[in-house]
Structure 1
Amino acid sequence: MKIMVAVKRVVDYAVKIRVKPDKTGVETTNVKMSMNPFCEIALEEALRIRESGLAKEVVAVSVGPTQCADTLRTALAMGADRAVHVDAGTANVPPLSVAKILRALVQAEQPGLLILGKQAIDDDCNQTGQMVAGLLKWSQGTFASKVVLDKENQKATVEREVDGGIETICLDLPAVITTDLRLNQPRYATLPNIMKAKSKVIKKVTPEELNVELRPDIEIVQVTEPPKRKAGVILSSVDELIDKLKNEARVL
């Protein structure tokens, strides 16, 4: 079985986000970029499945500008067998367009499993996995905290986190799975593997070659920072606290 993993290039989680002066988006110039943490978890799960003997190949794919090749090299250094870069140039690629691109790649590669992070930390959309499953008409297991494959019966058992606890579902393969934080702990790429990844060939295609039109279906009107929180105050008594909750906060 072949597993395809979608990975996204985002602003590193440790970087302090700055909004552009014209409020058109987030500043990315000279900002450290890295693989989306949820995508790292998705890739790690695919690698563990391959190492268990249930899959033969892991293919990493990424959609975005030329710099996405760096993210794919990280995926290759972690252990992915091949990488495919869909070069969208500087165009903003909304989740529905990404889903259509992934559908086209799935139809070309014919994997038995597509794994994605449940969301990206830049837009927090949490849409692509569900959309591509709908387009492919595949079973889907979202927010996976545990994945068990039954290759013989072509089934996957997924434990997923819901508001009330853990829900267990059984999926027919092929399927789409999106990963949650508790699924695993991603490995670090070793220096020898990082050096080897630099010489590996990354297949490059364009949305046009996949017959996908990038149509902006989302308009960003303005990006602003959240309002700053007011400084806290120290109160001397319970009566003073009740008075402020009643007359200032108006929650009583």
Structure 2
Amino acid sequence: MKILVAVKRTIDANIKAKVKSDKSGIDLNNLKMAINPFCEIAVEEAIRLKEQGLASEVIVVSIGTKACQEQIRTALALGADRGILVETADNPEPLNVAKILSKIITKEHISLTILGKQSIDSDNNQTGQMLAALNNMPQATFASQVKVTEQGIEVTREVDGGAQTLQMNFPAVITTDLRLNEPRYASLPNIMKAKRKPLDVVSCETLGVEMKEHCQLISMEMPVERQAGIKVNSVDELLEKLKIEAKVI
């Protein structure tokens, strides 16, 4: 079984982003970049499946500029076998990403594709679902547990108010949630080994995908800061403030 994992280059989750003065997007100057946290969970799950002897190869793909090679090398240091960079403009739309991944799945004969449920920059939560639809594959989103069985793959996914368990056949698409696993740290020897692992660079044209613009960003603003609340000492005081100050009763 070959596993494909998609990773996205995003701002480090510990850094507070700022919007550009012209409101055209996030100011990325001098910011630390990293693998999207949900994609990191996807990489960890693929590596664990390989360590269990259930996968023959873990391929990591990133779609974007040359800078994405850094995140691919990080995934290779964590234990992935091979990397693919599809060079495009920065931050491609989910549908374009899904079309590219669809081509790679066919070309590489992938049995299982694992993605993060969403990226922390655009928060679209669309790519996995679009990819499954394009390839007519079963999908399990928001996975909190993955188990390969004789019948295929069993996935427990988080839903409103509980959990749902699905049984799927291969090939399949999974998107990861936070509780699926705890990603490992790359050791120094593995970081050095990752530099020698193969990393292929291809273009959209080579894959036969035309990048189209389906959405246009009009403007971006930081959310309005909420005012600090107040504490009351009694129900009577609360009712008084709701009536006199808030004027809601």
Going from structure 1 to structure 2, the CA distance change for 1:248 and 1:216 (only over 3 Å counts) comes to farther
1:170 maps to which residue?
A: 167
Correspondence 1:238-249 to 2 at 5 A: 238-249=235-246
Q: Which amino acid aligns with 1:216?
A: E
**Who is 2:37 aligned against?**
37
Q: Which residue of 1 aligns with 2:136?
A: 137
Q: What is aligned with 1:180?
A: 177
Change (3 A) 1:133 1:251: farther
Residue pairs, 1:214-225, within 5 angstroms: 214-225=211-222
Could you tell me how far 1:175 is from its partner in structure 2? 0.3
Code of the aligned partner of 2:56? K
Cα displacement string for residues 33-71 of structure 1 (whole angstroms, at most 9, x for unaligned residues): 000111111111111111111111000000011110000
Amino acid at match of 1:50: K
Alignment of 1:70-219 (within 5 A): 70-90=70-90, 92-150=91-149, 152-153=150-151, 155-219=152-216
TM-score by length of 2: 0.96
**Preserved CA contact (<8 Å) 2:65 2:87:** yes
Question: How many residues are treated as equivalent by the alignment?
Answer: 249
Give SS of 2:66's match.
coil
String of CA shifts for 1:96-127, please: whole Å, max 9, x gaps. Answer: 00000000110110111000011111111100
Judge conservation of contact 2:81–2:197 (CA < 8 Å) in 1: no
Distance 2:157 2:88 in 1: 32
> Match of 1:159, SS?
strand
- SS of match in other structure, 1:208: helix
> With structure 1 as the length reference, what TM-score do the two structures score?
0.95
In 2, the alpha carbon distance for the partners of 1:204 and 1:93 equals 16
Q: SS state of the match for residue 59, structure 2?
A: strand
Cα separation, 2, equivalents of 1:142 and 1:251:
41
The structural deviation recorded for 1:232 is 2.6
8 Å contact 1:119–1:127 — kept in the other structure? yes
RMSD: 1.4
Distance 1:246 1:52 in 2: 63
Equivalent pair of 1:50/1:57 in contact (CA under 8 Å) = yes
Query: Which runs of at least 4 in structure 1 moved beyond 6 Å after TM superposition?
Result: none
Residue 243 of structure 1 deviates from its aligned partner by 2.5
- 1:237 shift after superposition: 4.2
Distance 1:215 1:95 in 2: 11
Shift of 1:240: 2.7
Is the Cα contact below 8 Å between 1:66 and 1:89 reproduced in 2? no
CA gap 1:81/1:250 in 2 versus in 1, 3 angstroms? farther
Give the match's secondary structure for 2:237.
Answer: helix
Q: Are the equivalent residues in 2 in contact too, given 1:65–1:88 (CA < 8 A)? A: yes
- Whichever residue aligns with residue 168 of structure 1, its letter is T
Letter in 2 for 1:222: S
